[in-house]
Structure 1
């Protein structure tokens, strides 16, 4: 699989403040790639660079092997982005969706193309006559997405596409994204706080924190809220009542973010008596994925409603005979953690 993007020594400053620093990052063609991390981690800044809206302060971004300072306008037209708060023209839905094609002088069968784009995002043909001011938040987001999908882009970049929209619109947006991948083999980059969705839709996930790539595909982030125990240590209370006590965390704030590498999580399904302690948690296997290292598998599992991942060798996998839905014991090494 070839690299669609390759970022080398990227640094981005805004008002003399470094907001992004990525030594090396490769993104493959024809994949859905999810980006996650807390607010302010640099996701939107990165997307502005990947869409070539902004230029990096230093470093190089290669797209199909071509450096960012040599990419022509036609190539850039194949990369479209839907920002978190998309701007609509003060015109009808039809004119908003058709706008990109008009700029490209591709006006043949325009009505048919607009209707097809609206259909993909779950809107009827009659919706095209609506004014921009008559749209709800979810409808506006879907119209903005339709305006990009009508272009049949090679790369579709989506910054929090389901944030702040109603449940129905969110589901239709998710279905439209998959449709673009299937119809046109579009490479899709998504940032979202919906980790469950990202885990189910993405070929690859990338975590960002404070402008840096923390880990790709094998990191667990635990966000607030936290509680305090009698020793002022932070405690994560899961939805099923289980607790993970983070020792020696009394100097951390309640809104801190904890990173746990998947290598420091141990799971067991059968013959587990030798590893069970009072700190052992109970989980349920969600999915099993092949890794680039053929000897390792990535196991995703829930503790309460929070999804974790860890790695397991094929030898241990065969011994444990793990399947989705299996109940497991989970040991998380709180000595090998990182506060970010």
Structure 2
């Protein structure tokens, strides 16, 4: 295991800056995610850490020591890609063994290590199967075991679950997370899936256009994003324009009491409220802002309602499925985790 520090990392392709002064500090044994849309620089960052790509400026430190002049094969880094890249002519045992053979480890030690890994990733009985004979989840376990065989200091995962169906994806997320916690190996996961990042990470680095916009815990990123750009990575939010004074947020249709400094006064702000932090009730409910349901989308556990309040549409996620389009309702706001941005 190693701590990892990325310092002012810059990378350009054809005079286009794809990484712009990336800075990250990852503690030993942590799992962190690089989260962002396609083309934001996530995989480029991972490939630079692995030594597959060079970089223009900056440095990468493992346990405080620079690795920029250390060749790929000597960095003690293992990477698992979304396509697994298993050798089709080798069986499960031979695929896992491959890195150990390259390191010229004695056969008896190789056999012992491979069998330990087969036990660890629960592939007993599949040792002589070839990649074409096993499922996607089993292939992924082989790829992970092969990566772990060389005892890497850092494990890199490049969208490893994207080729799996939804049920297997969830199973493999939990499997890899439990394995990572058991081995306490420093891990960097690249993903564009917010749910995956939230459930698997100690911390998440939100990347947009080659920059890290915020690096924080999943809870803080979801509840207290530092910008609308970061907020929208984690799903659609409601933004309500208005002004703040004497601890109140106010516009032409709502007046909300906020837990903020009462001396703060701002004339042009946007209050961010997630769909989950708005409660919907019958129009006879004693408190709340009245509105009319304009659209209803059933999603199983929850229903998304679009509610018109004086020509302004709010989206509400609720487990109350019985309200109907054109029905008048009252809504109340949970302002515990309210965030506002100046315009």
1:283 aligned partner: 276
CA distance, structure 2, for counterparts of residue 71 and residue 305 of structure 1: 53
- Pick one of 189, 209, 221 that aligns with 2:231: 221
SS in 1 for 2:175: helix
Contact 1:120 1:176 in 2 (8 A): no
Contact 2:10 2:57 in 1 (8 A): yes
Root-mean-square deviation (Å): 3.6
CA distance, structure 2, for counterparts of residue 49 and residue 10 of structure 1: 9
Contact 1:84 1:160 in 2 (8 A): yes
2:119 aligned partner: 119
CA distance, structure 1, for counterparts of residue 151 and residue 272 of structure 2: 51
Structure 1 residue 216, shift from structure 2 partner: 0.8
SS in 2 for 1:108: helix
CA distance, structure 2, for counterparts of residue 15 and residue 279 of structure 1: 39
Contact 2:9 2:19 in 1 (8 A): yes
Contact 1:34 1:192 in 2 (8 A): yes
Contact 1:149 1:180 in 2 (8 A): no
Structure 1 residue 280, shift from structure 2 partner: 5.8
Alignment of structure 1 residues 98-177 onto 2, 5 Å: 98-106=97-105, 107-123=107-123, 125-166=124-165, 167-168=167-168, 170-177=170-177
1:244 and 2:244 are equivalent in the alignment: no
CA distance, structure 1, for counterparts of residue 103 and residue 140 of structure 2: 22
Structure 1 residue 186, shift from structure 2 partner: 0.9
Unaligned runs of 5+ in 2: 242-248, 250-254, 260-270, 278-301, 305-332
Structure 1 residue 72, shift from structure 2 partner: 6.4
Contact 2:48 2:55 in 1 (8 A): yes
Structure 1 residue 169, shift from structure 2 partner: 5.6
Q: Deviations for 1:273-326, whole angstroms, at most 9, x for unmatched residues?
A: 6359x9966636xxxxxxxxxxxxxxxxxxx799xxxxxxxxxxxxxxxxxxxx
Equivalences, count: 255
Alignment of structure 1 residues 224-235 onto 2, 5 Å: none
1:82 aligned partner: 80
1:195 aligned partner: 194
1:328 and 2:338 are equivalent in the alignment: no
CA distance, structure 1, for counterparts of residue 234 and residue 113 of structure 2: 45
Contact 2:159 2:190 in 1 (8 A): yes
CA distance, structure 2, for counterparts of residue 46 and residue 204 of structure 1: 16
SS in 2 for 1:126: coil
Contact 1:41 1:211 in 2 (8 A): yes
CA distance, structure 2, for counterparts of residue 27 and residue 279 of structure 1: 30
Q: Deviations for 1:6-36, whole angstroms, at most 9, x for unmatched residues?
A: 2223211223322111253222222111211
CA distance, structure 1, for counterparts of residue 135 and residue 91 of structure 2: 14
Q: Which moved more, 1:33-42 or 1:166-175?
A: 166-175
Structure 1 residue 165, shift from structure 2 partner: 1.0
* Distance 1:160-1:279 versus aligned 2 partners, 3 A rule: closer
Structure 1 residue 115, shift from structure 2 partner: 3.2
Structure 1 residue 170, shift from structure 2 partner: 4.3
CA distance, structure 2, for counterparts of residue 122 and residue 169 of structure 1: 17
Structure 1 residue 155, shift from structure 2 partner: 0.9
Alignment of structure 1 residues 21-40 onto 2, 5 Å: 21-40=20-39
Structure 1 residue 122, shift from structure 2 partner: 3.2
TM-score (norm 1): 0.64
